[in-house]
Amino acid sequence: MTKPPSSVWVCIETTQEVVTVGLRTILETAEGPFDISTTGPAGDEPDVVLYDVIHMRDGDDSGLDYWLTQTASTVIAIDRTLRPELGARAKEKGVEWAIDLGITADELVAVIRDAIAGNLEDNPAAQEWDAGGYPGSEDGLSPQESAVLALVTAGLSNQEIATELHLAESTVKGYVSDVLVRHGLRDRTQLVVLAYESGLVRAGQ
């Protein structure tokens, strides 16, 4: 059995200072099986890179290309639900995992822990971007948003959805709110219509 590391270096790549400060504070004050640092020695590679896809809004993908092709670091995208095309580009480049800014502190630390252990597939807060796509992707929904929307259609409350998906209720509320705003919808009834139109559920289910 491999001994877990005593410290982990997580590099935060974003253009927005408030995101950097928030993520750094969460990670460097976290209690867990190892210490998390957001800086490391020159010339070394971070264990995990949190790459904010907002970097790609001007069409420059070179930073992401470097992390994916020139290092052995685990790259996790910070997805932007209001800019789904950026997440789609990151996925096409080869990023396999993503989180969004609605993630809680505990969920973020758990994602880093599972990334180091190689168990991200078991973490509900880490969205796996499989090559085959998923229902709702063509409508700009993230995998986690699709999962939430399907349960909204089943009549579950935010708290029930949070329990079902092992998420914080505030995270679920964030997903629901983002989808409502992005698609210009008024309420959960219209979310149900979107779910049917996106193929998340079918009539008779």
154: CB partners within 8 A, 6+ apart: 201
Three-state SS for 52? strand
The pLDDT assigned to 22 comes to 93
Tell me the mean pLDDT in the region 174-182.
90
172: CB partners within 8 A, 6+ apart: 148, 158, 159, 161, 162, 165
Domain 7-128: CATH superfamily is Response regulator (3.40.50.2300)
**Does residue 195 surpass a pLDDT of 90?**
no
Task: Please name the CATH architecture into which domain 137-197 falls.
Answer: Orthogonal Bundle (1.10)
Q: Which two tokens stand for residue 133?
A: 């796509």
pLDDT for 120-168, tens place per residue?
A: 888 888 887 754 456 677 777 776 788 788 888 888 999 998 887 777 8
Domain map of the chain by residue range? Answer: 7-128, 137-197
- Start-to-end CA span in the chain (Å): 45
pLDDT for 40-96, tens place per residue?
A: 887 789 999 999 999 888 878 889 999 998 899 999 999 887 777 788 888 888 898
Q: How far apart are CA 100 and CA 72, in angstroms?
A: 23
pTM for the model stands at: 0.63
